[in-house]
Amino acid sequence: MPRKSKIERKTAETDVRILLDLDGTGKGRISTTIPFLDHMLTLMSRHGLFDLTVKGSGDTDVDDHHLVEDIGICLGKAFRESLNAKEGVNRYGSATVPMDESLAAVQIDLSGRSYLVYNVNFGARKIKTFDLALIREFFQAFADNSGMTLHVNVMYGKNNHHVAEAIFKAFARALREAVALNTRISGVLSTKGSL
């Protein structure tokens, strides 16, 4: 069964369209009108080896918050839908990624229970016009709508761009591991029989 999804969300504030193929080669076609977010999602696609198309627009003249959050919502739904019943997937994923002086670790459980632990302290608030507080909002929306437990921890880092890159690359690699099919797993990896 193909592990693909298509999600569309249109509100008075945003218009978001997502195409996702979990078993892709890392081709990202990202256009959100927020250059820094485009960069992070392109990294996520490439390092996760997901084929990902994201088209988004919204009331960014007011603030980037609505669009960033709605993209997180839609991506979370896309991953949840692509996983079908989660049969045969590893369920857990973990990655620690350096980016020059920065080091980030991400752990994932596709448990069906949404939870975010986010231990990240950006020194400055913005990279150009992008509010770094919105990275947490993105991951909260993603976790809530994918039904995953997500831990994001930055051990250290001085350059905020490097910190953000380390986070998104670690997230992509942990997610790739969690959604990977494992021929040794029959059904779902749970003693309850469901996730």
Looking at residue 68, its pLDDT comes to 98
Looking at residue 195, its pLDDT comes to 84
pLDDT exceeds 90 at position 78: yes
155-165 per-position pLDDT tens digit: 999 999 999 99
Looking at residue 175, its pLDDT comes to 98
pLDDT exceeds 80 at position 1: no
> What does the CA dihedral 152, 71, 21, 184 come to, rounded to 10 degrees?
30
pLDDT band, residue 124 (cuts 50/70/90): confident
Q: What is the rounded average pLDDT for all residues in the chain?
A: 96
Closest CA to 88 of 195, 180, 158: 180
Instruction: List beta partners, residue 150.
Output: 108, 116
Looking at residue 191, its pLDDT comes to 85
Looking at residue 123, its pLDDT comes to 79
Looking at residue 194, its pLDDT comes to 83
pLDDT exceeds 80 at position 41: yes
163-191 per-position pLDDT tens digit: 999 999 999 999 999 999 999 999 889 98
Q: How far is CA 115 from the centre of its chain?
A: 14
Q: DSSP for 56-85?
A: EEE-TTT-SHHHHHHHHHHHHHHHHHHTTT
Neighbours of 157 (CB within 10 A): 24
Percent of the chain predicted with pLDDT > 70: 100
Looking at residue 149, its pLDDT comes to 98
55-77 per-position pLDDT tens digit: 999 999 999 999 999 999 999 99
